[in-house]
Structure 1
Amino acid sequence: MKNLLPLFFLIFTISCTEKKQEIKNKANLKAEIQNVIKDKNATIGVSILGFEKPFELNINGDKHLPMQSVFKFHIALAVLNLVDTGELNLNQKIFIKKSDLLENTWSPIREKYPNGNIELTLAEIIKYTVAQSDNNGCDILLKLIGGVQTVQDFTNSKAVKDFQIKYNEEKMHQDWNAQYENYSSTNSLVNVLKAFYNDKIVSKSSTDFLMKILIGTTTGQNKLKALLPKTAIIAHKTGSSGKNDAGLTGAENDMGIVTLPNGNHYAICVFVSNSKETEAINCKIIADISKLVYENLKDN
């Protein structure tokens, strides 16, 4: 037993040293992030959550901030839940009328089929809505499942906190202030992403389906992905309000799941809200923070 005491002491010492280094690294990372956001005329929420290896960090992580199109992730989950229960089928055809394809809104579906009167599978509409952030596709999905309350009820059933959805895309385009009623905290989002990744929100097949779509997201290439290695895998969903007549950006957002070179994962969410900065600066804030987090976690 006496011979084992030095070994126990060595293991204890190494463990304490590693813990102190982790605390120091987290403190340094937080300071670096704060350096990015200091003096910015905006409210910025940041949350990071490790999956396989415990790691948590947030700045303004509990603030309720407008999601904009990030809410399409939650909408897709609510739709896929109905696929899991058999009420919907990914291969079922959805008829889209010309009147469903509203003008003056971002809609790759409308650009491809300007006259409407087409049928797309449910899977195709989800892909348009999430990967390309199609606003008309979003509202078509909401109409299909019974509206925003269906999404709220589903997220409530999964104990999602600090999340509210009241309005669809059409309403947000009619009323600037409506976006503030569709809110989440960044802490809520990284926790939902982790639960989703671990198949605790929808079935594994639905998780795999949506993960593939998120990895293929084409919007917001100048946000979380911008400064990461080209080989980095990130499954993400963006959101953006544009500016109002007063030059205010309600939301410039991105959230996602990043796969590290060692195979571990983390969720990251950066929301830039009520910003007086330019679009380029808002997006650079997100990109700079994403790079700092990746560089800090990639070798841990």
Structure 2
Amino acid sequence: MHFVRTMFTLTTLVSTILFCPIAANAEFRTDALRAKIEALDKKSGSGRLGVGLVDLTDGDSWSWRGDESFPMQSVYKLPIALAALKAVDEGRRNLDERISLGREDLSIQWSPIAREFKGEPATYTVRQLLEHALQQSDNTASDVLLRLVGGPGSVTALLRRHGIDGMRVDRPEREMQPEVLGLPPFRPEWTNEAALTAALNDLPQPAKRAALAAYLADGRDTATPKAAAHLLAKLARGELLSKPTTRIFLDILAGTRTGGSRIKAGVPEGSTVAHKTGTAMDVLGIGPAVNDAGLVTLPERRQLVVAVFVAGSDSSPAERERLIADVTRAAIEALR
């Protein structure tokens, strides 16, 4: 019964996102919204706050630092998943296609697939890889999908073909994460969390500090808040994929298990959220990236895209997440 109720909720969410009646006279009260976001920006401490909003009822949009680039971290799994589902639409891939993963496929840092690996090849369908990458933010699943769609250049080219500028995918997780943390290039033993922790403990602070500064200035694997909101708005309108594949994408996003204290914490009771988070491991008390981007359906069935990026903040992890929730709350209040 729990499975049936869950599937009903997801189907209802997707149908609402795709087919909600259009409300008239929907717009952001920009003066009030700007004042609130400006105040919230100051709570990021040493960091930068970026916000992209789109009201799906009429396309009205608003942004804060909307044209600045922010490190995506796992929000970049959204365009990777888009490329995989585009390949499904075009017949180049199949959701039930079985992919065998060996030790050589495992990635660094957060990966339930790597954690559960028993030494023998394990098989996952493309659908399961999408669920792992989006719902659990599994880095191994993301890297395998990235390889299946032809690599980072193919993903960025797809974004450009659909008019999504200001977002780019450049590296698999196994290349990106060591650079963020100041480590040498990827080593297979780092798929073990204890070995990764030991390697990080051996790094001198100046190396970590230099890596953090370089990452925050790096244009690779970044998005502007406008671009992230634009992607999700196009997805919700059915402009990127076929209707059945759009449903699948949104179904998976509705089951995301991460980031309960971010966008989800800022919506009123009775709302639904389909979203993707992104988080970098803290470096010397700094959060390189704490992000969330999603589709919010309010109880009155108004729909809002919310993309929030917090880069380089020295506030506590809980405060960074609370900041995203507060931005979401302010956006919804501005609509009402």
Say if 2:162 is the partner of 1:158: yes
* 2:146 aligned residue: 142
Preserved CA contact (<8 Å) 2:170 2:221: yes
Say if 2:324 is the partner of 1:286: yes
Q: Give the distance between the partners of 2:269 and 2:173, measured in 1 at CA.
A: 32
Q: Give the distance between the partners of 2:109 and 2:281, measured in 1 at CA.
A: 12
* 1:130 aligned residue: 134
- TM-score, normalised on structure 2? 0.78
**Once the 2 structures are TM-superposed, how far is the Cα of residue 228 of structure 1 from its aligned partner?**
2.2
Q: Give the distance between the partners of 2:146 and 2:288, measured in 1 at CA.
A: 23
**Once the 2 structures are TM-superposed, how far is the Cα of residue 192 of structure 1 from its aligned partner?**
1.1
Greater Rg over alpha carbons, structure: 1
* 2:244 aligned residue: 205
Say if 2:208 is the partner of 1:169: no
Please give the secondary structure, in 2, of the residue aligned with 1:202. coil
Aligned AA for 1:151? V
* 2:267 aligned residue: 228
Pick the aligned partner of 1:37 from 27, 41, 47: 41
**Once the 2 structures are TM-superposed, how far is the Cα of residue 221 of structure 1 from its aligned partner?**
0.9
* 1:6 aligned residue: none
Pair 1:131–1:116, CA change in 2 (3 A):
farther
Preserved CA contact (<8 Å) 1:53 1:264: no
Pair 1:147–1:116, CA change in 2 (3 A):
farther
Structure-to-structure mapping, 1:54-65, within 5 angstroms: 54-65=59-70
Pair 1:31–1:234, CA change in 2 (3 A):
same
1:165-224 residue CA offsets vs partner (Å, 9 max, x unmatched): 111100112211467311110011111111111111111111100101111100111111
RCO higher in structure (CA 8 A, sep ≥6): 2
Q: Give the distance between the partners of 1:116 and 1:257, measured in 2 at CA.
A: 38
Pick the aligned partner of 1:74 from 76, 79, 85: 79
- Structure 1 residue ranges (4+ consecutive) displaced by more than 4 angstroms after TM superposition: none
**Once the 2 structures are TM-superposed, how far is the Cα of residue 294 of structure 1 from its aligned partner?**
2.3
Pair 1:113–1:42, CA change in 2 (3 A):
same
Q: Give the distance between the partners of 1:143 and 1:266, measured in 2 at CA.
A: 32
Q: Give the distance between the partners of 2:236 and 2:322, measured in 1 at CA.
A: 27
Preserved CA contact (<8 Å) 2:270 2:299: no
- TM-score, normalised on structure 1? 0.87
Say if 2:289 is the partner of 1:251: yes
Q: Give the distance between the partners of 2:263 and 2:251, measured in 1 at CA.
A: 17
Unaligned runs of 5+ in 2: 1-23, 181-213
Preserved CA contact (<8 Å) 1:101 1:114: no
**Once the 2 structures are TM-superposed, how far is the Cα of residue 144 of structure 1 from its aligned partner?**
1.5
Please give the secondary structure, in 2, of the residue aligned with 1:139. helix
* 1:107 aligned residue: 111
Aligned AA for 1:288? D
Pair 1:137–1:29, CA change in 2 (3 A):
same
Preserved CA contact (<8 Å) 1:110 1:116: no
Please give the secondary structure, in 1, of the residue aligned with 2:263. coil
Q: Give the distance between the partners of 1:136 and 1:116, measured in 2 at CA.
A: 16
Pair 1:147–1:33, CA change in 2 (3 A):
same
Pair 1:195–1:96, CA change in 2 (3 A):
same
Preserved CA contact (<8 Å) 1:101 1:116: no
Q: Give the distance between the partners of 2:79 and 2:267, measured in 1 at CA.
A: 25
Pick the aligned partner of 2:234 from 171, 190, 195: 195
* 1:89 aligned residue: 94
Q: Give the distance between the partners of 1:116 and 1:58, measured in 2 at CA.
A: 48
**Once the 2 structures are TM-superposed, how far is the Cα of residue 296 of structure 1 from its aligned partner?**
3.4
**Once the 2 structures are TM-superposed, how far is the Cα of residue 54 of structure 1 from its aligned partner?**
4.2
Please give the secondary structure, in 2, of the residue aligned with 1:225. helix
Cα RMSD for the two superposed structures: 2.0
Pair 1:22–1:167, CA change in 2 (3 A):
closer
* 2:54 aligned residue: 49
Unaligned runs of 5+ in 1: 1-17
* 1:8 aligned residue: none
Please give the secondary structure, in 1, of the residue aligned with 2:265. coil
- State, as a whole percentage, how many aligned pairs show the same letter: 30
Pair 1:267–1:291, CA change in 2 (3 A):
same
